[in-house]
Amino acid sequence: MKLVVGVTGASGVIYALKLLKFLQEQTSSEVHLVISNPAEIVIEHELEMDKKEFQKFAAYSYEIDDFLSPIASGSQQFDAMIIIPCSMSSLAAIAQGYTTNLLLRAADISIKEKRTLIIMPRELPFSPIHLENMLKLANLGVHIVPAAPGFYHKPKHIEDLVNFVVGRILDLLHIPHNLFSRWPSKKTKRNDS
């Protein structure tokens, strides 16, 4: 699979790191990564990692203003794009088709070419503006996958929560994984005999 991964300046870049690591270590996917400028700050803050270190988890990386890169053109065939995490700012820009950087341009292409686009929005609480933008995109076929892990798989560590959300994204991409136990888990007690 040829995938574009976009990382914006929302909290939860740990989800992006897990997704990239999984794709690199467990699949033969070709990953093209683009990181916004605010995302660099969040990566430094939350992962204590610099951009170069983070970029090692993708085969191809582009600068945010590199409109000459392959992912800037609809003529390049990509199977899917995942924006993880997605800030409310990038969400709004995508919903309006306002493509002022490479990440937004790649998302705009995904929509116009009717390709799989998965967005993991992160904010709390959501305002009506955020919700309207999400609804608009969902109605266009964009997958809105909030960073909202379930707890029915009985997570013990932060990694279990991250794996759940990343696993659900992999499900949407039809990439097999064992990142969490599916419902009903072996631990689930059933009343029926």
CB of 86 to ligand FMN, least distance (A): 7
Rounded distance between C-alpha atoms, residue 110 and residue 115, angstroms: 5
According to the binding rule CB under 6 A, does residue 99 interact with ligand FMN? no
User: Are β-strands 80-86 and 116-121 bridged in parallel, bridged antiparallel, or unpaired?
Assistant: parallel
CB of 85 to ligand FMN, least distance (A): 7
Sole window of 31-39, 70-78, 135-143, 164-172 interacting with ligand FMN (rule: CB under 6 A) = 31-39
Determine which helix (DSSP H) or strand (DSSP E) holds 32, and give its type and residue range. Answer: strand 30-35
Measured between alpha carbons, how far is residue 124 from residues 10, 92, 128, 166 in Å? 11, 16, 12, 19
Out of 61, 90, 110, 116, the residue judged to bind ligand FMN by CB under 6 A: 90
According to the binding rule CB under 6 A, does residue 122 interact with ligand FMN? yes
CB of 45 to ligand FMN, least distance (A): 5
Residue 143 amino acid letter: H
Positive or negative, the CA dihedral 96, 122, 155, 57 is positive
Q: Which residues bind ligand FMN (CB under 6 A)?
A: 8-11, 36, 38-39, 41-42, 45, 87-90, 122-123
